[in-house]
Chain A
Amino acid sequence: MATYYHRAVQDIKDKGFLSAVTIITIALSVLIVSVFALFFTNANNAMNYWEKGVRIIAYLKPGISQKNFPDIKRKIQGIYGVQDVNFISKKEALKRLKEQMKRQSSILMNLNENPLPDAFEIRMIASSQRGEKVEEIAIKIESLPSIEDVEYGQKWLERFTNIFYLFRLTGYAMGCIFFMAAVFIVANTVRLVIHTRREEIEIMRLVGASEKFIRGPFYIESIIHGILGGITGVAALFITFKLISSNIKPDFKYELLNIKFLSPEFYCGIILCSMFVGWLGCYISLKQFLKA
């Protein structure tokens, strides 16, 4: 094994340019696929975060008497999937609005009367926090006679989900294309190396070298290309990520989206995958061009 490794490393050194081209190609493929993976991971986290915090606001019809509020609350509470129901009076709603608007709250000072309706804020149990479940509960609440309207950010969620699925599909397609491109490049590199070493391989066979002895270094060389390409790709992504994330305002970063880099398991998986790309490219080329 040490001999194979020694010969593989020597060959990488001898064919430096060819090796560099292969490693860079794998690195670029890994980088592009990893960018998509990074987007999915963070978008998925954001969706989970949003879904955990999802709530339904049910606005009451004007003129509903305060004595009916407990009854309405009880009816909402009875719907499957509802965890808790809080009453928000129109006065409380205006107060919250003023707090959220901060500097612009002076606009609200000139109101003659409070235009906001009384409302119930409804939280769901964990298993009912997915989009379609939330929508189901919202429809049931909206059908209650005292409720005028419900709001749960469904359009925003739908749009975000659609974009997310579109990107995921594009990511899969790009992943497949770049995987094949990387395999093709590795296979081509191995083919060129076989071609330049044709005479050497023939002599090896004549002196009784086994196929394992002849092929082993090719596999090791390709796997090294794969690993180096994978590491380079992930490193490039990490540097880019750090540069970009350091320019995002802390408020945006922590309050709206907690942007994280890929987990160690994930990028180790990517490096393993690029190692597999090296192996596969080599296997295809040897099968095709190095017949015993």
Chain B
Amino acid sequence: MIDGKDKSSIIQMFHVHKYYGSKKALVDISLNVFKNDFLFISGPSGAGKSTLLRLLYLGEPVSEGQVLVDGMNLSRISRKRIPFLRRKFGIIFQDYKLISTKTVFDNVALVLEALGKKRKVIEKKVRKVLRTVGIEQRINAFPPSLSGGEQQRVAVARAVVGLPKIILADEPTGSLDSNSADIILNLLKGFHSHGGTVIVATHDKELIRKAGGQILYLKQGRLFVPTPI
């Protein structure tokens, strides 16, 4: 993260500003995330946590400043290259963002289909990752028939199946009970232990305490030095 020494950077933000009309969502953010960091971005609702994550995968563009992700300068990236940028990320949302008309298998397989993997490979990998997140028995179920915790596990499976370099999780346990939240946290830790970088935007102090990762604090769009919890 900010004080990293030996590790190489995977995300760099230089004096990034984000405005919505006259409203300042993010103000002068400079940040350096290193490979295999486990980073929490904390802060109250409306502080700009989700906005910051969206800037990383070009969910929206920055108003000012520059963002580098694994060597890609997002200010100069062409429209055609955006999918390649997004393949570096596995994204987990609070509202899961699963396709309700597709089965659990198809939702997870979508990532590998988009990567152009063969059917056999897809079959094998999806089953394996669903086994890892403990939801293989619901492989043919449709998302609306799953509990919140199960849906979020599917979302985690979808996020990791394409072997991304970075996991971005936006309030991943926001609507889950503590047991389900623990399962999700363990899955994120598992990804991290295999060398992945994890960035979690959350205001859940309990989650941060349990995870024990590095913390950045956002307040009214400004980034503050890590604060003790």
- Which listed residue, A3, A203, A209, touches B83 by the CB 8 Å rule? A209
Asked if A207 and B86 sit within 8 Å, CB to CB, the answer is yes
Known contacts A3-B113, A213-B114, A292-B79; is-contact A206 B87 (Cβ 8 Å): no
Residue A205 CB within 8 A of the other chain: yes
Asked if A199 and B99 sit within 8 Å, CB to CB, the answer is yes
Contacts of B80-112 to chain A: CB distance below 8 A: 80, 82-87, 89, 91, 97-99, 101-102, 110-111
Q: How many residues of A contact B (CB 8 A)?
A: 17
A209 and B117 CA atoms in complex are apart in Å by 12
Asked if A208 and B111 sit within 8 Å, CB to CB, the answer is yes
Asked if A206 and B86 sit within 8 Å, CB to CB, the answer is yes
A200 and B89 CA atoms in complex are apart in Å by 18
Asked if A200 and B114 sit within 8 Å, CB to CB, the answer is no
Residue A240 CB within 8 A of the other chain: no
Query: How many interface residues does chain B have, given as a range?
Result: 20 to 34
- Which listed residue, A2, A199, A204, A206, touches B57 by the CB 8 Å rule? A206
B88's nearest neighbour on chain A, judged by CB, is: A208
Asked if B101 and A208 sit within 8 Å, CB to CB, the answer is no
CB distance from B160 to the nearest CB of A (A): 12
A206 and B83 CA atoms in complex are apart in Å by 8
Residue A210 CB within 8 A of the other chain: yes
A209 and B87 CA atoms in complex are apart in Å by 8
A209's nearest neighbour on chain B, judged by CB, is: B114
Residue B43 CB within 8 A of the other chain: no
Q: By CB atoms of chain B within 10 A, which of A208, A209, A210, A292 has the most?
A: A208
Q: By CB atoms of chain A within 10 A, which of B84, B85, B99, B114 has the most?
A: B114
- Which listed residue, A14, A202, A204, A208, touches B87 by the CB 8 Å rule? A208
Residue B141 CB within 8 A of the other chain: no
Bitwise interface map of A from 181 to 200 toward B, beta carbon under 8 Å scored 1, else 0: 00000000000000000011
On chain B, the residues within 8 Å of A204 by CB distance are: 110, 114
On chain B, the residues within 8 Å of A292 by CB distance are: 79, 82
A3 and B102 CA atoms in complex are apart in Å by 15
Asked if A203 and B99 sit within 8 Å, CB to CB, the answer is yes
Asked if A206 and B114 sit within 8 Å, CB to CB, the answer is no
On chain B, the residues within 8 Å of A210 by CB distance are: 80, 83, 114
Asked if B101 and A207 sit within 8 Å, CB to CB, the answer is no
Asked if B99 and A209 sit within 8 Å, CB to CB, the answer is no
Known contacts A199-B99, A203-B99; is-contact A209 B110 (Cβ 8 Å): yes
Residue B203 CB within 8 A of the other chain: no
Bitwise interface map of A from 202 to 245 toward B, beta carbon under 8 Å scored 1, else 0: 11111111110100000000000000000000000000000000
- Which listed residue, B59, B119, B158, touches A207 by the CB 8 Å rule? B158
Residue B115 CB within 8 A of the other chain: yes
A214's nearest neighbour on chain B, judged by CB, is: B114
A206 and B110 CA atoms in complex are apart in Å by 11
Asked if B110 and A207 sit within 8 Å, CB to CB, the answer is yes
On chain A, the residues within 8 Å of B86 by CB distance are: 205-208
A199's nearest neighbour on chain B, judged by CB, is: B99
A207's nearest neighbour on chain B, judged by CB, is: B111
CB distance from A56 to the nearest CB of B (A): 71
CB distance from B79 to the nearest CB of A (A): 5
Asked if A208 and B97 sit within 8 Å, CB to CB, the answer is no
Bitwise interface map of A from 1 to 27 toward B, beta carbon under 8 Å scored 1, else 0: 011000000000010000000000000
A2's nearest neighbour on chain B, judged by CB, is: B119
CB distance from B133 to the nearest CB of A (A): 16
A188 and B80 CA atoms in complex are apart in Å by 27
A208 and B110 CA atoms in complex are apart in Å by 10
On chain B, the residues within 8 Å of A203 by CB distance are: 97-99, 110
CB distance from B229 to the nearest CB of A (A): 31
A contacts, CB < 8 Å to B: 2-3, 14, 199-200, 202-211, 213, 292
Q: Given known contacts A203-B98, A207-B158, A208-B85, what 9 new A-B pairs fall within 8 Å (CB)?
A: A200-B102, A203-B99, A207-B110, A208-B114, A209-B110, A210-B80, A210-B83, A213-B113, A292-B82
5 nearest A-B residue pairs (beta carbon)? A208-B87, A209-B114, A208-B86, A210-B83, A208-B83
User: Can you give 30 A-B contacts (C-beta < 8 A)?
Assistant: A3-B113, A3-B119, A14-B101, A199-B99, A203-B99, A204-B110, A204-B114, A205-B83, A206-B91, A206-B97, A207-B110, A207-B111, A207-B114, A207-B158, A207-B162, A208-B83, A208-B84, A208-B86, A208-B87, A208-B89, A208-B111, A208-B114, A208-B162, A209-B83, A209-B110, A210-B80, A210-B83, A210-B114, A213-B113, A292-B82
